[in-house]
Amino acid sequence: MPPKAPKSEYIETDTGNKVSRRSIILGTPHIILGGRTAIQTEACLRGDLHRLSSPSTSTSTSAPGGTSVIAPSALIRPPSRLHRGTYTYVAQKIGDHVLVGERAVVEAASIGNHVVIGAGAVLGKFCIIKDGVKVLDGAVLPAGMVVPSGSVVGGRPARIVGEVGEGWGMLPGSEGADLRERIRAIA
Amino acid sequence: MALSFPYLYISCPCASETTLPPVWPYSNRLSRENAEDDDEEDEKTFDPRNPRANYSLYPLEHLLFCEDCRQIRCPRCALEEVLCWYCPSCLFESPSSAVKTEGNRCTRNCFQCPICTSPLSVNALEKPDPRDLSWILSCPYCAWSSLDIGIRFDRPSAIAGQLLRMRNGGQPTLTRKERDGERDRRKRGDTNDAEEEDDHSWKQHKEIEDVDDHFSNIRAFYTDQLAETSASSPFGGNNEFGYGSPGALSRIMGLYSRAGRLSSHRPKDKIRPMREAFGEDEGVKLFDAKGEDEIIERMKSVGWEGTAKLEQQSWQNRDARFLSDLRPVPTLLRTKRARRCRTCRHILTKPESKVASTRYRIRLVALNYVPTMTLKPLVPSPAPPSAAPAVTAAPTPLPPTAPSINLQALPSLIPTQFLLTLHNPLFDPVRVTLATPARTPGRFGSKVTILCPQFDIGANTDMWDEALTDVAAGSSGSEPGPGAKSRGSAAGNQSQPTPGAAAALDAAKRARAAADFDGPVQAEAGKIWDSGRNWTTIVLEVVPANLDEESPSSKPNKSAATNNPGKHDSNPDEPPGETGLEEDEDVLEIPVFVRINYEADISSEDEDGPAADDAVIVRNKRGEKKVKRELAYWCVLGVGRISKIA
């Protein structure tokens, strides 16, 4: 009997999502992937942490948008708070062309399009990241921080340290741009 | 932050405008003639290690392009215009009038922690009695809260206003009216009981004194002074000789004819000089040794931990030596800005003025005018078909799939080949000429050879063309490189044998002799590696320098370098070869001079007469009028770090 063909690491869905077999995805009914999204090894998506009051499957707890990459060992979990005596989780939205770096921890409420989150960055609860933002490696964004579009943030605690160039996201293959090539290269 | 390789920086030509624009030594006759007097200056290659280079090198996405000057514009040669102010935290736009009156700080609920600058959140303070709610500002990062300075708020909104009326500790501050009343009362009382003002009352006074009091005192004093002296002041006030008066015009008109009469008309004795401030009520702050003693006493009691850092003090707009003096810092507003060309004043970028919008009305970024260059190591794999798809796919500066070449540790003295891909963003085919010094500048010169220094890139035409050529490339991918259907190969080969090409030839010979490449992936001098719709890939060969041995060409310069006080750690006593590396001296950076020639469709401006010097109107084969354009600039390719020979 011939040996079984080795499984490839990634499962590719009809919409072009590439999900590593070694990623940890919990609560799949609550996660909507936008298509052409890559979830790499040991990345963790916590869809099980959803709002208890509405356990319907329609509630999207975590929704990485289209053409995004979630790098190895990143953790995406919805933000939570104690509200009127109950601990609730709030839906989280991640835009298109978002790169979540390795070992990053994301508890932001929303992330816009063309955002690059550096390796090891920590996005606190209920952070709001607008479009075209670069979070430098190792930055720690305090809970509830709002980052306006076109900023570069870094440091612990994170501060706005600069602005991205006017051409941010326009050069294919550069930071913040279309991640299609990168996703294609993942196999 | 560690450098991520490879990278590309473009040198904005504005850096050299004060001196002379760099001209490629082998460029066309016209520039050759112009450059005759100053050959020496022109033939200098761009040195990325020059401290000045830092000011002209920008990543491509930061650069703009002025269509009228036909030139790259960097943040240094573009002017900025503020379109709107907004708070980065609440994203509310602040009208410019409010910015003028209330300063460039958010006047809503946005505050930063005085300890760590993270944005503060407004939290309700839980109390046993739910009717007696109060709110505090608290830091989610360092757990500082406004309770630490004894401040709590009655309402969760309009925090800035509430904070303004409260001093640290919770006592209310005086309103302006109260302050004025207080000052008047003291002024009247001053004459009666000046002697009574002993230490005790002074101290009491000092306690309520703060920056706002001080400012209002000064302002009141000078307002009074202006009012008092304006009657005789020639420029201030509302008298008939003030600037704003109706008589001003006639006075200025008659300034010369009737000057004598005018001065006699107004006797000089009426002009009273303004008096200087005198006393506390007029805003004079006298040095007081008692106050200093008090501070020292306080330092003794609170200790080191209780004092504010210098950085924290600088965020405050008042004296704050102790943590208990700190106040929440209102968030600084940010701006949306448009940019203009400094030379011709045309708008280069103009974002929509709405805060939430990220769109641009005008955006002339250099990305749309300058070819983008991407560098990739050429993997010396004996299986060309596997390497080919990676080449034909649009290149990205991602880590190479094959880990055989580590850009963080390039082996010294081993010829390494790289694929340099240029993408043409223009709608016209361009001819590119690349030039690079044979040896990179700096103490450790690496040998660089561009195997095909002159080539063509196709126009950035319809996307569908690419889709179709991609299919074709898939089939032709197995025989890439030398045989590639190249318009540019012939041109690069048979044109005058430039030194670059000659060097390339023997470099290829060396490569053939030394390296373990197989036939099909062999890079050949003078030929492009591969090309597509609007991109062309060429091969760049680099022999990284030996870091243990300084390059002979740089040795004569070394004495100059040691004399240079800027080079602090090049010790003249150190024997050559054992010198320590300066910071990032092991980084292999290749300066490349790029010249682009193309024929563009004629625009309305060009018909009136060529706007720029480089615009020459020609007729192409089909008889269409075209305008010849040229763009030239230096750029720097960061290849990687050279590793030492073990």
- Chain segment A94-121, per-residue pLDDT in tens: 888 899 999 999 999 999 989 999 999 9
Is the pLDDT at B309 greater than 60, yes or no? Answer: yes
Mean pLDDT of B459-487: 52
B353-391 residues labelled b (16+ CB within 10 A) or e (exposed): eebeebeeeebbbbbebbbbbbbbbbbbeeebeebbebb
Query: Does residue A176 lie within any of the structural domains?
Result: yes
Min distance B222 CA to chain A CA atoms (Å): 39
Query: Does residue A80 lie within any of the structural domains?
Result: yes
Residue with tokens 């298109």: A96
The CATH code of the domain that includes A21 is: 2.160.10.10
**Least CB–CB distance from B88: residue in A142, A144, A148:** A148
Q: What is the count of structural domains for chain A?
A: 1
* Helix, strand, coil abundance in chain B, percent, nearest 5: 30, 20, 45
Question: How far apart, in whole angstroms, are the C-alpha atoms of residue B555 and residue B560?
Answer: 9
The residue that leads in pLDDT, A69 or B556, is: A69
Query: Does residue B157 lie within any of the structural domains?
Result: yes
Condensed to tens digits (0 to 9), the pLDDT of residues B418-464 reads 889 998 888 888 999 998 888 888 778 888 888 888 888 888 876 66
Is the pLDDT at A165 greater than 90, yes or no? Answer: no
Same domain, residue pair B137 and B218: no
Residues 6+ apart with CB under 8 A from B171: none
Same domain, residue pair B415 and B479: yes
Question: How far apart, in whole angstroms, are the C-alpha atoms of residue B552 and residue B542?
Answer: 18
Measured between its terminal Cα atoms, the distance across chain A in Å is 27
Best-predicted range by mean pLDDT (A69-83, B161-175, B540-554): A69-83
Domain that holds residue B253: 176-186+211-328
Asked whether B347 and B338 are in contact (CB, 8 A), the reply is yes
Contact flag A164-B88 (C-beta cutoff 8 Å) = no
Q: Residues of B with CB below 8 A from A153's CB?
A: none
Same domain, residue pair B23 and B94: no
Q: Residues of A with CB below 8 A from B142's CB?
A: 157
Residue with tokens 């000429």: B433
Contact flag A159-B117 (C-beta cutoff 8 Å) = yes
**How many CB atoms sit inside 10 A of residue B257's CB?**
9
**CB-facing half-sphere around the CA of B174: CA atoms within 13 A:** 20
> Which chain A residue's Cα is nearest to B90?
A146
- What's residue B639's pLDDT? 87
Q: Residues of B with CB below 8 A from A167's CB?
A: 60-63, 365-367
What ipTM goes with this model?
0.88
- Provide the residue count of chain B: 646
Q: Residues of B with CB below 8 A from A130's CB?
A: 358
Condensed to tens digits (0 to 9), the pLDDT of residues B221-252 reads 888 887 776 654 455 444 445 555 556 666 66
Question: How far apart, in whole angstroms, are the C-alpha atoms of residue B353 and residue A182?
Answer: 34
**Least CB–CB distance from A174: residue in B61, B63, B358:** B61
Query: Does residue B372 lie within any of the structural domains?
Result: yes
Distances (CA, A) of B77 to B60, B68, B362: 15, 14, 17
Asked whether A12 and A44 are in contact (CB, 8 A), the reply is no
DSSP class of residue B1?
-
Min distance A52 CA to chain B CA atoms (Å): 24
Min distance B617 CA to chain A CA atoms (Å): 31
Judge if pTM exceeds 0.80.
Answer: no
Query: Does residue A3 lie within any of the structural domains?
Result: no
DSSP secondary structure of A57-121: TT--SEEE-TT-EE-TT-EE---EEEETTEEEE--EEE-SS-EEPTT-EE--SEE-SS-EE-TT-
Same domain, residue pair B51 and B94: no
Asked whether B577 and B548 are in contact (CB, 8 A), the reply is yes
Measured between its terminal Cα atoms, the distance across chain B in Å is 26
Instruction: Name the 3-class secondary structure at B163.
Output: helix
Query: Does residue B560 lie within any of the structural domains?
Result: no
Contact flag A142-B140 (C-beta cutoff 8 Å) = yes
Same domain, residue pair B324 and B446: no
Domain that holds residue A23: 10-185
Query: Does residue A32 lie within any of the structural domains?
Result: yes
Same domain, residue pair B232 and B377: no
Q: What is the count of structural domains for chain B?
A: 3
Residue with tokens 């601990």: A87
Contact flag B365-A166 (C-beta cutoff 8 Å) = yes
Same domain, residue pair B117 and B181: no
Same domain, residue pair B33 and B137: no
- Look at the alpha carbons of B115, B121, B122, B125 in this order and tell me if their dihedral is positive or negative: negative
Query: Does residue B29 lie within any of the structural domains?
Result: yes
Is the pLDDT at B576 greater than 80, yes or no? Answer: no
Condensed to tens digits (0 to 9), the pLDDT of residues B183-215 reads 777 766 654 544 444 444 444 444 555 677 778
Distances (CA, A) of B533 to A36, B176, B331, B384: 25, 71, 49, 22
